[in-house]
């Protein structure tokens, strides 16, 4: 079976390409800079002689200590948690209401949301940010977490609406209409008949809102002040201000810390992520 | 239906209004410097020199935060569409190559060319690589599939900036890939960061690495639905494995390829984080990083310049999407 062997080889090669950079960086984050960026031999990052010479053991948490405690990365982690939690909650609330309304109304505006969702997916977020800055400075709401949260919710809205709208289209109309025949108001029908069956779609959409808020660099780096910074801009600022010896490892440790939750997320929600990615393809 | 209002309001306030605000801002430029004569006396006598009057500038900025009106001047100046410079370059240059070099010195065109190259080189490569991985994974034993999908998702799910940084650290001349390349080419001076061409290639490689998982997942899902009886009848008719892929699988997956191409065109057109992560602004600026660096410049952001670039970028997005928009509109009319 040469063909199976060939395919297996190719798959293994791809696996190596996809996973190795992360494993390498995670391993290297426990070394000192002289090892991770070794002038003599790259194998040093693997074995760690300089780490052993400097700290007495071949693994060190000094990068993590420096990033989390000295540079107060924990503050950024806290800010990210707040931003991500609020963005996911608010955009799902708005999105389920809006998506449900769209799916149940007879109007032909599905085309227009689709167009909006398309254009906003293609439009660089930084173009919108350049429109926010001046008004936000003038109104004195620049730099605070709530401003950033509502901006991220709005940017995410077209996509959320589109996904939830197509999800609600698959829930039969009869379900909530029969509830209304039984004397429910529209809102009661939504709460009692639709909410219990909508969770799969909401979880998938929520995952993508989470990723948008968690991975965002453009909005958070431009709209947050220094002390309110979230993780990703914080890591970027490590690079800018702390080029001196030793501080690069802070950025490496912080980057690995920011990657870890995503690994767990993929492990737990692999099925939902895959179905979310393919949903658009199947529905056209 | 009142349910739509919260999300509609959010979109109007934070998407529609900012676009209008961008359009308005692009008509203004920052104030001219107000100069004052200052007597400065040192040990070698007094002399008068011109300085920027900071207090007057601050007052002017609070009075007119937008800056002064400039009409469409920002659009046509040297750092945007640069019509004057283009004409001069065309008149002065000997051949097309020379003209091209001059155009590449204009920041807007440099960014536009990089963005277009990135979009149209990365997108096809992503589709081809994703398809190959999907076909290969489909052929290996079922036990491997779960872990393969898990690891394949990583480059796509991990924050783009962090993904770029991870590779950036590895291609450092003291990192594993950088050092290996130096040994392979036997050139201790080799650095992927130094030459513009190599930086472009690095960014393209990053782009393919980052997006191939998306194409893989979509194609892989599509492969599960390829009609088995068509494949079997092709096999009965004596089609080789390659012929089956060529005449059955690929035509069947064509709509998916269109979908991936569309998504990738949109995502790649706004390439931003990799350029920041690879610290590559000097040799490869994209339209997004151009706006970003305007907003980050000096003490006071260049709102007018950033707004003009933003509007030109939005215009570019509309042009890029226009074939799709027109097709969707036709289908919609047809259905409705």
Tell me the C-alpha to C-alpha distance, in Å, between residue A187 and each of A191, A200, B334.
Answer: 6, 20, 34
Is the CB of B165 less than 8 angstroms away from the CB of A108? Answer: no
Contact B159 A111 (CB under 8 A): no
Domains, chain A, with CATH or none: 21-60 (no CATH), 72-283 (1.10.3720.10)
pLDDT of residue A243: 55
Task: Say how far apart CA B269 and CA B205 lie, in whole Å.
Answer: 16
Q: Distance of CA B85 to CAs B50, B88, B90, B104, B287, Å?
A: 31, 5, 8, 12, 19
- Bridge partners of B50? B37
Cβ–Cβ pairs < 8 A, chains A and B: 282
Q: Which fold has domain B125-285?
A: MetI-like fold (1.10.3720)
Flag whether residue A202 sits within 8 Å of chain B, measured between CB atoms: no
Chain B interface includes A59 (CB < 8 A): no
* pLDDT tens per residue across span B207-262: 999 999 999 999 998 888 888 888 888 888 888 888 888 888 899 899 889 889 98
- Nearest Cα of chain B lies from the Cα of A140 at a distance, in angstroms, of 13
Two tokens at A37? 């960026």
- Residues B13-23 pLDDT 10s: 888 888 888 88
To which H or E segment does residue B35 belong?
Answer: strand B35-42
**Contact, A98 vs A166, CB < 8 A?**
no
Question: What per-residue confidence (pLDDT) applies to A242?
Answer: 47
Distance CA B305, CA B26 (A): 7
Q: Could you read off the pLDDT tens digit of each residue along chain A, which spans 284 residues? A: 677 788 888 999 999 999 999 999 999 899 888 888 877 777 777 878 888 888 878 888 888 988 898 888 999 999 999 999 999 999 999 999 888 888 887 666 777 777 777 777 778 889 988 888 888 888 888 889 999 999 999 988 888 888 888 888 888 888 888 888 888 888 888 888 888 888 888 999 999 999 999 999 999 998 998 888 999 998 888 876 545 556 788 889 999 999 999 999 999 998 888 888 887 655 44
| pLDDT of residue B62 exceeding 70 | yes
Assess A279–B contact: CB distance below 8 Å, yes or no.
no
Chain A residue with minimal CA distance to B319? A119
The nearest CA of chain B is from the CA of A40 a distance in Å of 8
Q: Which of A100, A115, A124 sits opposite B313 (nearest CB)?
A: A124
For chain B, the structural domain boundaries read 125-285
Closest CA to B115 of B276, B271, B260, B261: B271
B291 contacts A126? CB cut-off 8 A: yes
Q: From CA B163, how far away is CA A119, in angstroms rounded?
A: 25
What pLDDT, in 10s, does the model give residues B91-148? 887 788 888 888 888 889 999 999 999 999 999 999 999 999 999 998 887 788 888 8
Distance, in angstroms, between A241 CA and closest chain B CA?
A: 14
Question: Most A CBs within 10 Å: which of B159, B220, B292, B322, as the mutation test of the A interface?
Answer: B159
Whole-prediction pTM:
0.89
ipTM: 0.90
Query: Would the pLDDT of B36 be above 60?
Result: yes
| Among chain B residues, CA nearest to A267 | B150
Rounded to whole angstroms, the Cα distance separating A231 from A254 reads 8
Which of A37, A124, A189, A209 to mutate to test binding with chain B, by most B CBs within 10 Å of its CB? A124
Q: Is A274 on the interface with B (CB under 8 A)?
A: yes
Return the ∠ at Cα A238 (arms to A237 and A243), rounded to 5°: 115
């Amino acid at each position: 079976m040469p063909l199976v062997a060939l395919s297996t080889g190719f798959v293994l090669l791809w696996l190596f390409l996809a996973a190795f950079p992360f494993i390498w960086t995670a391993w290297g984050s426990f070394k000192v800079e002289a090892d991770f960026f070794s002038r003599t031999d790259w194998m040093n990052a693997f074995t760690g002689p300089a780490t052993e010479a400097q700290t007495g053991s071949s693994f060190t948490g000094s990068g993590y200590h420096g990033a989390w405690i000295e540079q107060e990365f924990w503050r950024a982690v806290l800010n990210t948690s707040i931003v991500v939690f609020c963005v996911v909650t608010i955009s799902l609330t708005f999105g389920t209401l809006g998506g449900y309304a769209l799916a149940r109304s007879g109007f032909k505006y599905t085309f227009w949301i689709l167009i909006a969702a398309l254009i906003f997916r293609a439009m660089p977020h930084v173009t919108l940010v350049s429109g926010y800055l001046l008004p936000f400075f003038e109104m004195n709401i620049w730099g605070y977490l709530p401003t950033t949260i509502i901006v991220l919710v709005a940017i995410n809205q077209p996509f959320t609406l589109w996904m939830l709208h197509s999800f609600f289209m698959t829930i039969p109309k009869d379900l909530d209409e029969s509830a209304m025949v039984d004397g429910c108001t529209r809102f009661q029908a939504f709460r009692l008949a639709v909410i219990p069956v909508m969770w799969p779609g909401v979880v998938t959409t929520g995952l993508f809102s989470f990723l948008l808020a968690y991975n965002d660099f453009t909005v958070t780096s431009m709209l947050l002040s220094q002390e309110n910074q979230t993780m990703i801009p914080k890591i970027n600022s490590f690079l800018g201000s702390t080029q001196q010896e030793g501080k690069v490892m802070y950025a490496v440790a912080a980057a690995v810390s920011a990657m870890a939750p995503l690994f767990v997320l993929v492990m737990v929600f692999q099925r939902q992520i895959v179905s979310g990615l393919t949903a658009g393809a199947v529905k056209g | 239906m009142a349910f739509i209002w919260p999300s509609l309001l959010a979109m109007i306030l934070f998407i529609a209004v900012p676009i209008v605000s961008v359009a308005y801002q692009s008509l203004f430029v920052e104030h001219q410097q107000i100069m004052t004569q200052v007597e400065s006396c040192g040990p070698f006598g007094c002399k008068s020199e011109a300085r920027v009057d900071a207090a007057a500038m601050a007052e002017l900025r609070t009075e007119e935060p937008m800056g002064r009106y400039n009409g469409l001047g920002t659009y046509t100046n040297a750092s945007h569409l640069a019509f004057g410079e283009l004409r001069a370059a065309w008149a002065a240059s000997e051949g097309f190559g020379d003209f091209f070099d001059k155009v590449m010195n204009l920041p807007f065109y440099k960014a536009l060319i990089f963005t277009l190259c990135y979009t149209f080189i990365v997108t096809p490569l992503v589709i081809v690589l994703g398809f190959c991985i999907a076909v290969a994974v489909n052929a290996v034993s079922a036990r491997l599939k779960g872990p393969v999908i898990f690891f394949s998702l990583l480059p796509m799910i991990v924050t783009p900036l962090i993904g770029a940084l991870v590779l950036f650290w590895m291609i450092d001349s003291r990192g594993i890939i950088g050092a290996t390349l130096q040994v392979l080419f036997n050139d201790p001076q080799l650095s992927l960061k130094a030459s513009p061409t190599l930086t472009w290639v690095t960014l393209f490689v990053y782009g393919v690495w980052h997006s191939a998982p998306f194409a893989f997942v979509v194609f892989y899902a599509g492969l599960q639905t390829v009609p088995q009886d068509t494949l079997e009848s092709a096999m009965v008719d004596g089609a080789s494995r390659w012929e089956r892929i060529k005449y059955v699988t690929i035509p069947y997956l064509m709509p998916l390829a269109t979908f991936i191409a569309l998504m990738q065109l949109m995502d790649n057109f706004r390439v931003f984080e990799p350029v920041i992560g690879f610290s590559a602004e000097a040799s490869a600026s994209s339209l997004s990083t151009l706006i970003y660096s305007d907003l980050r410049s000096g003490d006071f952001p260049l709102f007018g310049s950033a707004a003009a670039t933003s509007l030109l970028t939005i215009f570019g997005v509309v042009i890029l999407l226009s074939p799709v928009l027109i097709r969707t509109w036709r289908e919609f009319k047809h259905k409705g």
